Chain A
Amino acid sequence: MRPFDYHRAADTDDALTALADRPDAVYLAGGTNLVDHLKLGIVAPDLVVDISRLDLDEVRELDDHGLRIGAMVRNSDLAAHPLVRRHYPMLSRALLSGASGQLRNAATTGGNLLQRTRCLYFQDASTPCNKREPGTGCSALEGFTRNHAILGASPSCVATHPSDMAIAMAALDAEVIVLTRDGERRIPVVDLHRLPGEEPDRDTVLDHGDLIVAVVLPAPGRGRSTYRKIRDRASYAFALVSVAARLDLDESGQIREAAIALGGVAHKPWRATRAEEVLRGAEPKRESFTLAAEAELESAWPLPGNAFKVPMARGAIVSVLTELATEPTEATELSRPGERTATTEGADDDG
């Protein structure tokens, strides 16, 4: 880890100024991603500007019943916030699916959006990586690709975006409020992150020094929503595939609107617009859900090591939509009587 200077920003102006003429300076918020990367030697700033104490830690209800979330609101506090739990349970559940209790206590809303890929080769400074060192090549393409993209990737980068929170925000049509030296910008979350294309080193559309100050959620959409994360262990693991979905049925029981975003499959939170189109006006039944999932995954471009993600994503989408279309009832076990209660408990683990 290269030596660096440390500056605690007094306010947002001070923060913007501090980074303005320092191309190798970085912001520090919760630190859970940056400090990791400092130790891995994959980021080497000469100045760290600590924004963790900026007065941006408020969750405020807006006049239109939307929500403005300060960039320094911690993931745990956002997940537990009564308005989020009540009106945006998908977001709450996504946050709670990420990392661990102690990491969520440190991680911030702004930082979570900007966390970088967990691609093993990106994190390993001893291997080539176009995202870390443009032009050196992509080690993942013919390597270990379990965590990698099946949608929207390019030959120069097959990394995935690792956030759970951002997937829910993409499905919620959230916007990011960014302070730049030229003033304030509002960017839809779905447009914040980029596809890798020829410039995989650029994760987002932000420029150096731009500062996320808030995320705005529009008024809660109608219908039921949830977030489901599929991973190789039951907790404390990144998503292989995740699904944020909201399903709204009209009076006749047809689908009025569906909002779906996928995690673990692309370089950005993947808004499943093709699936949404298929679902609009359709019957809320398994066949429609399968058609919708297949429409979305038609363009999938899996690698040898992650082809399983296509059926996994299809299965997850169908399973989540089926759950949302079904009134909650106690799942019953199809088996002979006298089974142990431990079965019930185990099956309940998956909230």
Chain B
Amino acid sequence: MTMADRLQTSAVGTGTVRLDGPDKVRGLAPYAYEHPVDDPVFLSPVQAEIARGRAVDIDTSAAEASAGVVHVLTPTNAPELADTEDGELAILRSNEIGFRGQYLGAVIAETPEQARHAAELITVSYVQDDHDVELREDHPGAREPESGPGEITVGDFGAAFAEAEIRIDARYSTPMEHNNPMEPHTTIARWDGSTLTLWASTQGVHPARSTLAPILGIDPDRIRIISPHVGGGFGSKGVPHADMMLTVLAALALPERAVKHAVTRQQMFSITGYRAPTLQHVRLGARSDGTITALGFDAVAMSSQTKEFPELAIKPARIMYSGDNRRLTQRVVPLDVPVPSWMRAPGETPGMVGLEIAMDELAEATGIDPIELRIRNDTPTDPETGRSFNRRRLADCLRLGAERFEWGERNPEPRSRCRGEWLIGTGVASATYPANRQAGSVARIRFTKDGYEVAIGAADIGTGTWTALTQVAADALEVPGAEVRLRIGDTDLPNATVAGGSTGLASWSAAVLTAAQTFRSLHGHDPEIGAEAEGKAEENPAAETHSLHSFGAHFAEVRVHEATGEIRVNRMLGVFSAGRIVNPRTARSQFVGGMTMGLGMALMEISELDPRFGHVVNHDLAEYHVPTNADVPAIEATWLDEEDPLAGPLGARGIGEIGIVGAAAAIANAAHHATGVRCRDLPLLADAFLPNT
């Protein structure tokens, strides 16, 4: 079976209003907690209050005697696990403590108030060991990531850098950040003795099942996960975290009861993943015309002793700019901290902070306009592998953005504009994200009396899958969208890969397109009721021959108050080259949403890990600042009109992540232009712009 070379589009490319929208503006679309279940009980966890050591005694007597308590789960009575390799998910195996906030047990009670109160009644005695939660560049525990790469070398960086006419040598840092989707991670779990049913907030029902099944020793066929609507994830719901496992263990202990467990906002800061902080040492050697001759990028990221997660900040430097001599190193430092995980464009997002501020510094040092500098160092081939790109249009994005943003009006001199007491500046940065597609998704198309039912276990985490995949299916079947009934978010549907890495729509669409083609070849255009066909997404062959990436450009204007240091963004523009845009209405929202999160990263987001206690002390939404409406000015996103044949018949690349990549650097560069202050550590708080005394 071969797929058509190109999809003939009719629905694809139009801004269909979200099909799940009418329910969502009324609050009727059910998220994980909201599925009606009989006989619910409520779970409240007990968490470690030391960062390393052992719980020598967990006294549950008062909790067990407390009103409404049905069960108290501890390492002593927790159900057995078949596989304990995964340090994050193999919970309640012993009383050893690897990070503050680690689960030590849980109370299950008839009401949420009773569960929470009883959990507070549990007293834990500890033997405390010294803990280490501080990331340092020279940390003795720094090591290459288990999954690599630890070092990438092209040419002779050392010699080229030493000989370079102009050298930039600077250190940058990005902080610990928490995804903080608005819907806290939630699971309802029920075990009826043979089947485990989960209503869960997850970016992939099938991947979550494949992860849980071997650990639990339960056949995947006896696990069903349902997740039609997900209240945001940004990576944090991409893999199951310990909260899901804890709920499952409670359900196994209480057959026939539906155990409901919504993680509290505070608990999310130790349980559901985060972006690991990074330290970046960037060295750029260049000729006076701006041509980069040497590129060095050394990144160190926090990881956890409990389970490794490598925040690969070197990723974007591998492909962004030319330069014959390159040396990139990546280290991780496993510490006594919660387990990091995916957060919107892991690797690229922090990595572009150091690289793109360094480029601004190089522009300043060479006196070359920062856009021109980037264009001069554009490269038609992957500087590491020599492979061709899939039509790399970075320069087009920069040029279009420059025109739209009126970059030409800019006086490059820092502190050259003000309004009242506000200093005003503009900045630019590049954006990039790999265009990956995953193999393995299966779509099933069935003709019913209501039209074409298209079934695939895909997820809509706010990305617009309900709408965009319906559009794809409609065009694949050559019928109006109204004749397609999409079903997603259930392991009873055919297998789907995760909504992550900006691969979702491209990967699922590949399955839907194949299924549609098979359906038509088997059943023609006038099928019988009940006619059915399946299609599977295969590997993208172009991934073997080309370097597949999206590119873009961010522009930002900021103002900084001269007297108080306050910094605010006035306007932002993003221009993206991302292949075919399936739904301009929802696509624009994703780009702008990524840029908005980039604004938060630039100006306010930081999880303050107190080294004495080992936990994030600003663990709520009052003190972990995400942007409010008032922080977000006119943000515009636009894109190049194109399709990418190397991405597959749909011609589309993923767009969920590129919007954040580079956005923070554009803002940091604008802040420098406004004030003359070069900030190399995010976030850019007011302190940076105030005098020292």
The answer to whether A and B touch in the complex, with CB atoms under 8 Å apart, is yes
Residues of A within 8 A of B (CB): 1-3, 41, 118, 120-121, 124, 126-127, 139, 142-144, 147, 230-238, 240-241, 308, 310-312, 315-316, 318-319, 331-336, 338-340, 342-347, 349-350
- Which residue of B617, B633, B686 contacts A232 across the interface (Cβ within 8 Å)? B686
- Which chain A residue shows the least CB distance to B600? A233
Band of interface residues on B: 35 or more
Since A41-B120, A233-B603, A311-B693 are in contact, a sample of 16 more A-B pairs with Cβ atoms closer than 8 Å, ordered by chain A residue number, is A118-B622, A126-B613, A232-B685, A232-B686, A234-B628, A235-B630, A315-B564, A318-B563, A333-B419, A338-B409, A343-B419, A343-B557, A346-B557, A346-B571, A347-B422, A349-B568
Q: Tell me, yes or no, whether B631 is within 8 Å of chain A by CB.
A: yes
Q: List 14 A-B contacts (CB under 8 A).
A: A3-B67, A121-B617, A144-B617, A144-B618, A308-B565, A311-B691, A331-B419, A333-B424, A335-B416, A342-B571, A345-B633, A346-B568, A347-B559, A350-B566
Q: B634 near A342 (CB under 8 angstroms)?
A: yes
- Docked pose: A336 CA to B417 CA in angstroms: 8
Residues of B within 8 A of A241 (CB): 564
Q: Of the candidates B417, B564, B691, which one forms a contact with A333 in the assembled complex, judged by CB atoms under 8 Å apart?
A: B417
- In the complex, whether B440 has a CB less than 8 A from a CB of chain A is no
B49 at the interface (CB under 8 A from A): yes
Whether a CB of chain A sits under 8 angstroms from the CB of B224 is: no
CB distance from B565 to the nearest CB of A (A): 6
A153→B562 CA distance, assembly (Å): 28
Q: How far is the CA of A240 from the CA of B691 in the complex (A)?
A: 16
Residues of B within 8 A of A (CB): 49, 67, 113, 116-117, 120, 406, 409, 411, 416-422, 424, 557, 559, 561-566, 568-571, 603-604, 608, 610, 612-613, 615, 617-619, 622-623, 625, 627-631, 633-634, 685-687, 690-693
Give the dominant DSSP class at A's interface: loop
Specify which of B113, B562, B570, B692 lies most central, judged by the most chain A CB atoms within 10 Å of its CB: B570
Tell me the bound Cα distance from A127 to B559 in angstroms. 38
Cross-chain contact A234 with B564 (CB below 8 angstroms): no
Cα distance, A318 to B121, chains bound together (Å) = 51
The prevalent SS among residues of B at the interface is: loop
* B residues less than 8 Å from A126 (CB atoms): 49, 613, 615
Looking at A240, A335, A346, which has the most chain B CB atoms within 10 Å of its CB? A346
User: Which of the residues B566, B604, B613 comes within 8 Å of A127, measured between beta carbons?
Assistant: B613
Q: By the criterion CB–CB under 8 Å, are B411 and A336 in contact?
A: yes
Q: Which of A3, A312, A346 contacts B565 (CB 8 A)?
A: A312
With most chain A CB atoms within 10 A of its CB, the pick from B612, B622, B627, B685 is B622
The answer to whether B409 touches A238 (Cβ under 8 A) is: no
A238 lies within 8 A of B622 (CB): yes
Residues of B with C-beta under 8 A to A127: 613, 617
- Pair B617/A120 contact, Cβ less than 8 Å: yes
Give B633's nearest chain A residue, CB to CB: A346
A320 to chain B, nearest CB (A): 9
B610 touches A336 (CB 8 A): no
The answer to whether A118 touches B570 (Cβ under 8 A) is: no
Contacts of A236 in B (CB 8 A): 628, 630
Q: Which residue of A lies closest to B690 (CB)?
A: A311
Whole-angstrom CA separation of A338 from B613 in the bound complex? 53
- What residues of B have a CB within 8 angstroms of the CB of A319 in the complex? 421, 561, 563-564
CA distance in complex: A340, B634 (Å): 12
Least Cβ distance of B160 to chain A in Å? Answer: 39
Q: Which residues of B contact A234 (CB under 8 A)?
A: 568, 628, 630-631
Chain B residues with CB under 8 Å of A318's CB are: 563
Q: Which of A121, A308, A331 contacts B690 (CB 8 A)?
A: A308
**Residues on A with beta carbons closer than 8 Å to the beta carbon of B421:** 319
CA distance A317 to B622 in the complex (A): 26
Residue of A nearest to B418 (CB): A334
6 residue pairs, one from A and one from B, having the closest CB atoms: A346-B570, A315-B563, A331-B420, A235-B630, A234-B630, A308-B687
Complex contacts, B418 vs chain A, CB 8 Å:
333-335
A346 touches B692 (CB 8 A): no
Among A308, A316, A335, A340, the residue within 8 A (CB) of B571 is A340
Given A235-B631, A333-B419, A347-B420: A230 touches B625 (CB 8 Å cut-off):
no
- Contact of A347 with B566 at beta-carbon distance under 8 Å, contacts A2-B117, A236-B628, A311-B693 already known: no
- B residues in contact with A340, CB < 8 Å: 406, 557, 571
Bound: A310/B686 CA distance, A: 12
Given the complex of chains A and B, what is the CA–CA distance between A345 and B633 in angstroms? 9
Alpha-carbon distance A95/B603, docked complex (angstroms): 25
Q: Specify which chain B residues have a CB less than 8 angstroms from the CB of A310 in the assembled complex.
A: 693
Beta-carbon contact of A233 and B625 below 8 Å: yes
Chain B contacts for A350, CB-based, 8 A: 566, 568
Chain A residues positioned under 8 Å from B67 (CB to CB)? 3
Question: Bound complex: CA of A241 vs CA of B687, how far in Å?
Answer: 12
Question: Is the Cβ of B424 less than 8 Å from the Cβ of A343?
Answer: yes
Smallest CB separation, A71 vs chain B (Å): 25
Min CB distance B240 to A, Å, is 26
Contact B610 A312 (CB under 8 A): no
Q: Which residues of B contact A237 (CB under 8 A)?
A: 622, 625, 628
Known contacts A142-B612, A346-B559: A240-B686 contact under CB 8 Å:
yes
Q: Give CA–CA (A126, B616) in the complex, Å.
A: 12
The distance in angstroms between the C-alpha atoms of A334 and B416, with both chains bound, is 8
Chain B CB within 10 Å — which of A3, A241, A308, A316 has the most? A308
Whole-angstrom CA separation of A334 from B569 in the bound complex: 18
| Assembly CA distance A105 to B633 (angstroms) | 26
A286 to B610, CA, bound (A): 40
A131 to chain B, nearest CB (A): 15
B608 contacts which chain A residues (CB < 8 A)? 120, 144
Interface centre among B411, B613, B685 (most CB of A within 10 A): B613
**Residues on A with beta carbons closer than 8 Å to the beta carbon of B613:** 126-127, 139
Please, how many angstroms separate the alpha-carbon atoms of A223 and B366 in the complex?
53
Shortest B629–chain A CB gap in Å is 7
Nearest CB in chain A: distance from B559 CB, A: 6
- Beyond A338-B409, A339-B409, whether A315 also contacts B565 by CB under 8 A is yes
